[in-house]
């Protein structure tokens, strides 16, 4: 059975209309899915528990590559959506997550993380001290670094490995001694040699 010319033309017309409209509706649907919530400027202030402003606090929008740092007075501004969450972090303070919840201004108070300073114990050679109580500078050279050096005296392996410690050999002869000064001369009449302690036992510089 043959189709009439009218039926064939009507089918061709609908087919042409379908081909032209499908890309239009597909683009509209994709564009609707790719739309994001409107961004707005969020401002605020970061302080500690005593109300003092905190500078240098990292503020990051969760799940987005957007971030900023608080100013000297603790103020900050950042672009975010009303439903985003801000992450506040700083060394010595507990990380805090704050949902924006449609607000334009946020005031945040960070709590000190005392465990970071109180639980860290350093070995100062002949005593242990926490990071909070430490008042001097501590440098460490592990045994794995010393054993790689082709030297018989461990002092030779320390040369150039500790800031502020000047180690020089008295002569170029094998077995010659070493002179050590820590941050320059430390005494006028009592000598400038450091105190050596091996396994808790003090030794003279000789």
CATH of the domain at 70: 2.60.40.1120
66 shares a domain with 22: no
Q: Do 98 and 143 share a domain, yes or no?
A: no
Determine which of 2-16, 53-67, 119-133, 140-154 has the lowest per-residue pLDDT on average: 2-16
Q: Where are the alpha helices (DSSP H) in 35-79?
A: none
Clarify whether residues 2 and 53 are in a common domain.
no
Residues 73, 127 within the same domain = no
Domain total of the chain: 3
Q: Which of 91, 112, 133 is the last residue of a domain?
A: 112
User: 101 and 47 in one domain?
Assistant: yes
Looking at the structure, do residues 130 and 146 belong to the same domain, yes or no?
Answer: yes
Residues spanned by the domain of 198: 121-203
Q: Are residues 162 and 96 located together in one domain of the fold?
A: no
> Are 31 and 47 within one domain?
no
Residues 198 and 129 in one domain: yes
Q: Are residues 140 and 95 in the same domain?
A: no
**Residue with the larger pLDDT of the pair 203 and 53:** 53
- Is residue 11's pLDDT more than 70? no
Q: Is 83 exposed, middle or buried (0-12, 13-18, 19+ CB in 10 A)?
A: exposed
Residue 26 binned pLDDT confidence (cut-offs 50, 70, 90) = low
3-state SS class at 115: helix
Q: What is the pLDDT of residue 65?
A: 78
The more confident residue out of 61 and 194 is: 61
More confident of the two residues 17 and 128? 128
The reported pTM is 0.44
Find tokens 């060394």 and name the residue. 91
Residue 193: phi and psi, rounded to 5, are: -75, 145
Task: Verify that 69 and 129 share a domain, yes or no.
Answer: no
Tell me the β-bridge partners of 167. Answer: 180
Give the pLDDT mean for 59-85: 89
Mean per-residue pLDDT for 89-115? 88
Top-confidence residue, 15 or 82: 82
Closest by Cα among 175, 159, 93, 28 to 167: 159
Residue 35 has pLDDT above 90, yes or no: no
- Per residue in 161-181, pLDDT tens? 887 788 888 887 877 888 888
On whether both 25 and 51 belong to a single domain, the answer is: no
């Amino acid at each position: 059975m043959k189709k009439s010319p009218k039926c064939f033309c009507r089918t061709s017309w609908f087919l042409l209309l379908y081909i032209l409209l499908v890309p239009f509706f597909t683009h509209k649907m994709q564009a609707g899915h790719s739309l994001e919530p409107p961004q707005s400027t969020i401002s605020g202030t970061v302080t500690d528990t005593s109300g003092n402003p905190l500078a240098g606090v990292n503020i990051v929008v969760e799940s987005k590559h957007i971030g900023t740092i608080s100013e000297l007075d603790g103020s900050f501004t950042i672009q975010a959506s009303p439903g985003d969450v801000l992450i506040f972090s700083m060394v010595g303070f507990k990380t805090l997550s704050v949902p924006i919840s449609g607000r334009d201004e946020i005031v945040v108070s960070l709590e000190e993380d005392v465990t970071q300073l109180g639980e860290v114990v350093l070995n100062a050679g002949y005593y242990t001290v926490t990071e909070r109580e430490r008042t001097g500078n501590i440098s460490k050279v592990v045994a794995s670094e010393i054993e790689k050096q082709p030297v018989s005296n461990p002092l030779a392996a320390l040369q150039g490995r500790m800031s502020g410690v000047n180690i020089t050999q008295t002569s170029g002869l094998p077995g010659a001694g070493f002179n050590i000064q820590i941050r320059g001369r430390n005494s006028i009449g009592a000598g400038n040699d450091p105190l050596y302690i091996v396994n808790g036992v003090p030794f003279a510089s000789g």
